[in-house]
Structure 1
């Protein structure tokens, strides 16, 4: 789905382990590393696309993770002309992404890079949250910085009950505890 400005709708996934280290996948047959990400199919919500991509690229199912939050808005990057598929030239400019921050509830052995017929990654590792981005293709680095920065406020968020995905109802500001959208204003 390419919007009228030439951006393809996409999701990005920052997966954390219990030490707040991030999942880093090595692009198949390349010397570059990245977070899992992928396009949103017609009729899919960003959350549905995130779960599909998580399964396709990392082999994890919804019960293996907890959603800690997502970016408030789309983050965009332009793709250099030499990287654009021939079929897309002319109307394609780049990607717009909603980024999700997930906590792995399962274990490392739940990760499988070969659950789809076309794997994205041939290796993976855990990195510190503020991972060096030199091994990321250059045109994605700024969006990675934006996503990591915006979602960092959620790193110490207390767990929510299993199956609850109403993260949009809460204020995750670093200034204080979680407050529901129906909470009364202090007088």
Structure 2
């Protein structure tokens, strides 16, 4: 972006289309990872922007491979709606070159079919420094505050899936 290009006021910017992915292991625990670029102890699910012409489900599988180094999962649920979050004004002009006010995301829930050793954060463009499996209900308290309402909605929608998965034998 050239320096003389004026940014739209925050409330007039569009949302960037994206996805989020809740990855559950066989015990119904959720994959969360700590961002490299966030100084706070902020954890999140894999998520990212959609490429031109890419379907949301395709994006979810691509982002999982790009961010956590595995594609060993099968999608088992999808959010009923797109869910948006707004960036805080103090960072909105820096993220995505100031073109967006936040993201509107389609969320997916997937069952991890691999082993922990299949997860490799040392991807081509690492986003996370460490990861863990966690009770899905606890995740919203660990996310950056401006995404907390979105995470509350996602957890409410996918918690029954996680609980059912945790009760499965095996």
Same fold (TM over 0.5): yes
The runs of 4+ residues in structure 1 deviating greater than 4 Å are none
Question: Post-superposition shift, 1:82?
Answer: 1.2
Output one character per residue of 1:49-78: Cα deviation in whole Å (capped at 9) or x when no partner: 1111000111111xx111111101100111
Pairing partner for 1:51 from 55, 61, 76: 61
State the 1:92 CA deviation.
Answer: 2.0
Long gaps (5+) in structure 1: 158-187
Q: Where is the helix percentage greater, Structure 1 or Structure 2?
A: 2
The question of 1:95 aligning with 2:103 is answered yes
Return 5+ residue gaps in structure 2 as ranges: 1-11, 166-170
Q: Structure 2 length as normaliser, TM-score?
A: 0.82
How far the C-alpha of 1:5 sits from its partner, in A, is 6.0
TM-score by length of 1: 0.74
**Counterpart among 55, 71, 74 of residue 79 in structure 2:** 71
Task: Give the Cα–Cα distance (whole angstroms) in 2 for the partners of residues 134 and 114 of structure 1.
Answer: 26
Q: Number of paired residues?
A: 150
Match of 1:42 in 2: 52
| Structure 2 equivalent of residue 133 of structure 1 | 140
Distance change (3 Å), C-alpha of 1:81 and 1:132: same
**CA distances 1:128-153 after superposition (whole Å, capped 9, x unpaired):** 12114332110101101101111223
